[in-house]
Chains A and B, each alone.
Chain A
Amino acid sequence: MSDLYEVSVTVNGTVYQRSVEPRLLLSDFLRHELGLTGTHVGCEHGVCGACTVLFDGEPVRSCLMFAVQANGHQVSTVEGLGTMEELHPLQQAFWEAHAVQCGFCTPGVLMTLLPFLEENPTPSEEEIREAISGNLCRCTGYQHIVDAVLLAAEKMPSQGDC
C-alpha cells in the first residue's frame, strides 16, 4: 500500500488534519474522510460539475484534484453556506424559483455561482447560462436555475467590499 501523507486543509473555516494516500481524490476526502457529503460526485472526469467546491475562492472540480494538493489551502463547500433555518440569499432564491429538483447537481451549481455573482452582481441571462454551462443538470432544463440567479442578483446585497 502507498505511503500516507499528512495534510492540513481548512474547510469552511475549520482546520482538518488527516493522513491520506496520495491518490485520494479531494472529493473523496471531503465526502468520506470529513463526512461533508454535500459535495456530490457525478462523473469523476471533470465534466458534470457536481463536485465543484471553492479552492482558495476559485471554483474547482474536486474530483480532478488530490487531497494532498489541498494541503495548506482553503476549501469551501456547500455546508459552509447557509443553514436550513437561515439560507444564504442564493439558496433562498433557488428555493423560491424552484431551481432544485433532485438536488444532486445543486451544491456544485451553487458553488460555481458564488464567485460568479461576486464578480458580476448584475448578470444577464446569457451570462448566467454561460457561467453554469459547466454544470450539468438533468432535471430542471436550467430555466428555473437561471430565474433563481436573476432573483438572487436582485436580492443579494452588493458584495463590493468583501
Chain B
Amino acid sequence: MAEKYVGQRIKRNEDPRLLTGRALFVDDVELHGMLHAAFLRSDYAHARLVSVDVSAARNRPGVVAVYTAEDLGDLWKPGPLLVPAPHSVENVVFHQRTQVPLAKDKVRYVGEAIAVVFAESRYIAEDALADIWVDYEPLEPVVDMERALDADAPLIHEDLDSNLCAHLAQEKGDYQAAREQADLIVSRRFLVDRGAAGAMENRGVVADWDEKAQHLTVWDTTQAPIPIRNGLAGMLGLSAHQVRVVAPFVGGGFGPKIMMFLSEEVLVPWGSMQFKRPVKWIEDRQENFLATTQERGQVHDAEMALTSDGRILGVRDVFIHDTGAYDPYGMTIPLNTQSHAMGAYDVPNYYTEVKVAFTNKMIVTPVRGAGRPQGIFVAERLLDIAAKELGIDRVGIRRRNLIPPEKFPYNHEIIDQAFAPLVLDSGNYRLALDQAVKRIGYEEFIKDEQPRLRAEGKRVGLGIVVFIETTGIGPYEGARITVETSGKISVATGVGTQGQGHFTSFAQIVADQLGVDVRDVHLVTGDTAEFHWGTGTFASRGAVVAANAIHAAAVAVRAKTLKLASKVLETPEEELELRDGEVRVADIPRQSIGLGELAVLANPLRGAVEPGTEPGLEATDYFGPQYGATANGAQAMIVEVDPETMMIEIKRHVVVEDCGTVLNPLIVEGQVHGGVALGIGNSYYEKLVYDENGQLLNASLADYLIPSATEVPRMEVGHEVTPSPLNPLGSKGAGEAGAIPVPALFAQAIEDALADYDLEVLETPLSPNRLFELLQGKEKAE
C-alpha cells in the first residue's frame, strides 16, 4: 500500500471553519430560554465558613435560584478520584481528599466556590454575587509546601494528622552503594514554581436537560468527554445513555481542561435538570486564574554520583510536590517527575522519594509537561554542575551518559504514571544530540563566536540539553470507520481535540488505507453520541493511542471492502487496489467499482446478511499499548542578556525531536513551537505569585505574562525517526516535548552568558527581577 498522506505536510481539514469564525466553541452555543450561572468564590485561602447569607441575592429580579452547599442534598459529596494511587508499589501512602461542589464549613483556597447563582443573564448573575454575604473566620493559611509538612502546621484537612497527602519512594539498584564508589557527588536544592496553563479559551459548560426526552446534553470544554459523561450520569442518577457530552472545538487544553468534575462541571448540568432549562457558564479570565487547576511547584534535594571521567553512577532525588488544597489527580505528576529525573541517561542506581503536601492554594493537576519538566530540570542541572566541577565539556558528558541504542528496550525498574514498569521502548538518543550540536554550531560558537562577542562586551551564552518524554499511555482508545454511500468516509473517535489537528492527521491514516482523498474523510471527535468508549486527549497520547485505533479500524474496513469487491469484480483480493475512491483490478483500471457503490451493496434492501458477516463497510476497533512509547530529543539555544535591564533575547533556538513516525510534519512542528513557547514562559515570564496569605497576586493577563510574538524566537526544528515497536504506526507522542527541556536549557544558557558571575541557576521560572537579585547576591558574596 502506497502511503500517500501519512508523513506528508497536509493542510488541515478543520481550518476553513476556524479561519472564518464558523467553528463551534462552547460559548457559541445559544439556546432558547437559557439561564446563566455565576459562582461566588472564596476571598480567603483558609477560613471557616461561619455563615453564608444568600437571601438578598435570591430576591434580586432576574435571579432564579441561589444555592449553597446546604442546598445540594445528595449531590454534595467529594468528587471522584481520577487516578488512584499506584497500587503496585509497596508502602505507598495516599490520602484521597477530592474537591467538593461547593465549600461547606471551610474554604481551603482563594477561588473555591461557595455559592452558585442561576439568573436570566450573566450580568444579573454577577450582580447577585455582590448581594451574598459570607461570614468568614480566617484561619492561618498554609502556603509554602515545606511549611505545610511541619509538625505544627495548621491542618488543611482536619481529619488527617498532617498535611501529608502522599508519600512514595522507589529505588533502582543501590544508590547508597554507588555513592560510596563515586569520585564526585554534586548535590543541590532546586525549586520549580507554579504557572498557569493559560489556554486562550477559558473553561465553559452549557447543559440542556430535555424533560420530555429525559435526556441531558452537555457542551463542555473538556479534553475527556467520555469519562465526563460516565461520571455525570452517575452523579445525577441517570443512565449513561441519557447523557451526551460534546466537546466541540476547544480553544486550547494543556491539561486543566481534562476537567475533573470541579464545581461548574457538576452544578451547571444539575441546575439544568432543576429548572428544566438550558444553563450556561463561561469562565472569565480571573476565574481561570483562581478556579482552574495549575501546575509545577516542587522542591528537590537532589544529588548525582559520578566517576572522575563523568560517568553517572547514580542519582538520588528527594522532593516535595505541592498538590494544592485537594488531590483529584492522584500522583500522576510526581510519578512523571520520578520517571524523568534520570533524564535520557543510563543511570544504574536511582533513589527517588516524594512527599506530596496539601497547601491552601489552587488544586494542582497536569499542565503540558506534567511533572516531566521538573525531572528534566533536576537531571540536566545536576549534570551541568558535575561537568563544570569535573572540567568536562557539557556535550561530552551527555554523550558519555546517554542510553546507547543497543540497550533498548531499557528498563528503569521503577513504575511510571501508568503504573507500568518504566521501560523506554526505543531510540537513538545520540542522533538528536548530534543534530542539535551541528545545527546550533556548538563548536564554532564556543571557539570563535562567543569569545569574539564577549570581547565586544556582549553577554551571550549557549545552552544545549537532551530530554525524554514518556507518551502514549493506555489504557486504550477506539474508533469506528464507515464508508458512506456517497463514497466519503466517516470516522468517529472518543478523544476530543483542542487544536492538535486530529481532523487531519487521523484522516491521513484512513485516506491511505482506503485510497481516498484526505478531504473526503470526515472526522467526529469528542461527541459521546458518536463514540463512547475511550478516555481522552492528554499525556501526549492522541497520535499514539487514538491514531493506532483508527489505523486498526481502517485496516479492518479495508479488508471488508476488498472482500466484497473481490466478489463483485470476480477478481482475487491480491489483484485489487484501492485508489481514487475506487477498488480496481490493478492491471485493468477500467474494471473498478466506487467505494460508495460498494457501500450500497454492503447494505442491501433485499436479501439476508450472510451468517458471519455484518452489514455495511464499517468497522470498530481499539488500540491499547502494552506500555507507553517514549519520545526523545535535544534542544539548543543562544541567548544574550542585557546586564542593564536583565532582559533576555533568544538569538537562536534549535529543537531536534524524535517522536517516531511523523504523521504530519506540519502539525508536529506546530506542536513543538507551541510547547517551546510555553517552556519559555515557564523559564522567564510566567510565575503565579502567591503572597504569604495565599492570595494570588497576578490573577490577570496584565500581570501574569504569557509570552507574546516578541518574546518567542524563530525556532529551527529537526527530526530524527526511531519508530516505536509498540504500535503498528510506530508513532510516539509529541504534544509536550517542546515545553519539557526549556527551563533546563534556559538555565544553562543564562549561566553561560553570565559566566563572569559564576552564577548557578537552581530555580525556575526566573524573571528579570529575580535574575537581578541573584546577581546582586553574587556580587555581595565576592
Task: Say if A and B assemble together.
Answer: yes
Q: A44-B284, A129-B709, A139-B674 are in contact. Are A102 and B20 (CB under 8 A)?
A: no
- Are A78 and B670 within 8 A (Cβ)? no
**Residue B16 contacts which of A38, A50, A95, A136 (CB distance < 8 angstroms)?**
A95
Report the separation of the CA atoms of residues A105 and B669 in the bound assembly, to the nearest whole angstrom.
Answer: 19
Q: A102-B201, A105-B200 are in contact. Are A78 and B20 (CB under 8 A)?
A: yes
Across-interface contacts of B61 in A (CB, < 8 A): 1
CA of A140 to CA of B673, assembled, Å: 6
Residue A82 is within 8 A (CB to CB) of chain B in the complex: yes
Interface centre among A23, A129, A130, A132 (most CB of B within 10 A): A129
**Distance between Cα atoms of A43 and B250 in the complex (Å):** 16
Assess whether A102 is in contact with B19, with CB atoms less than 8 Å apart. Answer: no
Q: Judging by beta carbons under 8 Å apart, are B670 and A136 in contact?
A: no
Residues on B with beta carbons closer than 8 Å to the beta carbon of A132 = 708-709
Contacts of A143 in B (CB 8 A): 673, 712, 714-715
**B709 near A79: Cβ-Cβ < 8 Å:** no
- A47, B701: Cβ atoms under 8 Å? yes
Could you tell me if B20 and A44 are in contact, using CB atoms closer than 8 angstroms? no
Scan residues 21-78 of chain A and give those whose CB is less than 8 A from a CB of chain B. 21, 23-24, 31-32, 35-45, 47-48, 50, 77-78
Contact with A along B695-730 (1 / 0, CB 8 A): 000001110001011101011000000000000000
Contact B714 A125 (CB under 8 A): yes
Instruction: With A38-B21, A40-B25, A45-B700 as known contacts, state yes or no: A103 contacts B30, CB within 8 Å.
Output: no
Known A-B contacts A43-B701, A50-B200, A94-B15; A138 and B20 likewise in contact (beta carbons under 8 Å): no
> B498 within 8 Å of A by Cβ?
yes
Q: Are A133 and B709 in contact (CB under 8 A)?
A: yes
The complex places the Cα of A41 from the Cα of B21 at a distance, in Å, of 13
A113 to chain B, nearest CB (A): 11
Kindly specify which of A3-11, A83-91, A153-161 makes contact with the partner chain: A83-91
A144 interface residue per 8 A CB criterion: yes
Do A104 and B15 touch (CB < 8 A)? no
Q: How far is the CA of A113 from the CA of B693 in the complex (A)?
A: 43
What are the residues of chain A within 8 A of B535 when measuring CB–CB?
none
Nearest opposing residue in chain B for A110, CB measure: B19
Flag whether A134 is at the interface (Cβ < 8 A). yes
Partner of B200, one of A48, A87, A96: A48
In the bound complex, residues from chain A placing their C-beta under 8 Å from that of B32 are none
B680's closest neighbor in chain A, by CB? A141
Does A83 contact B20, Cβ atoms closer than 8 Å?
yes
**A interface, by DSSP: helix, strand, loop or mixed?**
loop
Residue of B nearest to A32 (CB): B30
A135 to B200, CA, bound (A): 10
A104 CA to B249 CA in the complex, in Å?
A: 9
Q: Which one of B30, B670, B700 has the highest number of Cβ atoms from chain A below 10 Å of its Cβ?
A: B670
Q: A91 to B14, alpha carbons, bound, how many Å?
A: 13
For B447-488 the 0/1 string (1 means CB < 8 A from A) is: 000000000000000000000000000000000000000000
A154 to B472, CA, bound (A): 40
Task: State how many angstroms separate the Cβ of B287 from the closest Cβ of chain A.
Answer: 10
A103 to B25, CA, bound (A): 10
Instruction: Report B626-655 CB contacts with A as 1/0, cut-off 8 Å.
Output: 000000000000000000000000000000
Q: Is the CB of B673 within 8 A of A40?
A: no
Residues of A within 8 A of B675 (CB): 141
Q: Cβ of B189 < 8 Å from any Cβ of A?
A: no
Q: Is B590 an interface residue (CB 8 A)?
A: no
| B124 nearest CB neighbor, chain A only | A1
**Which of A42, A87, A140, A146 is in CB contact (< 8 Å) with B670?**
A140
Assess the A137–B12 pair: CB atoms within 8 A.
no
Could you tell me if A141 and B251 are in contact, using CB atoms closer than 8 angstroms? no
Q: In whole angstroms, what is the CA distance A102 to B28 when docked?
A: 15
Q: In this assembly, does B23 line the interface, its C-beta being within 8 Å of a C-beta of chain A?
A: yes
The residue of chain B having its C-beta at the shortest distance from the C-beta of A102 within the complex is B499
In-complex Cβ contact of A100 among B12, B709, B712 (8 A)? B12
Partner of B25, one of A37, A95, A110, A130: A37
Distance in angstroms from A4 CB to nearest chain B CB is: 13
Whether the pair B21, A142 counts as a contact (CB closer than 8 A) is no
- CB of B666 within 8 A of CB of A43, answer no
Which residues of the other chain, B, contact A129 by a CB distance below 8 angstroms?
709-710
A100→B500 CA distance, assembly (Å) = 10
Query: Contacts A48-B701, A102-B201, A106-B19; is A42 near B708 (CB within 8 Å)?
Result: no
Q: How far, in angstroms, from A132 to B708 measured CA to CA in the complex?
A: 8
Chain B stretch 14-40: residues in CB contact (< 8 A) with chain A: 14-23, 25, 27-28, 30
When chains A and B are docked, how far (Å) is the Cα of A140 from the Cα of B666?
11
- B654-697 Cβ-contact flags toward A at 8 Å (1 or 0): 00000000000011011011111110000000000000000000
A-B contacts besides A104-B252, A139-B200, 13 pairs, CB < 8 Å: A37-B28, A38-B21, A40-B27, A47-B702, A98-B667, A128-B709, A132-B709, A133-B709, A134-B708, A139-B252, A141-B675, A141-B676, A142-B709
Q: B residues within 8 Å of A by Cβ?
A: 11-12, 14-23, 25, 27-28, 30, 61-62, 123, 198-202, 249-254, 284-285, 498-501, 666-667, 669-670, 672-678, 700-702, 706, 708-710, 712, 714-715, 738
26 contacts between A and B (CB under 8 A): A35-B30, A37-B25, A37-B27, A39-B21, A45-B285, A77-B21, A84-B17, A84-B20, A91-B16, A95-B11, A98-B666, A101-B670, A102-B201, A102-B498, A104-B25, A105-B251, A110-B19, A129-B709, A132-B709, A138-B252, A139-B200, A140-B677, A141-B673, A142-B673, A142-B677, A143-B714
Interface, chain A (partner B; CB < 8 A): 1, 21, 23-24, 31-32, 35-45, 47-48, 50, 77-79, 81-84, 87, 91, 94-96, 98, 100-107, 110, 125, 128-130, 132-146
When A and B form their complex, which 8 residue pairs have the shortest distance between CB atoms, in order from nearest?
A38-B21, A104-B251, A102-B499, A103-B18, A141-B673, A101-B499, A141-B677, A47-B701
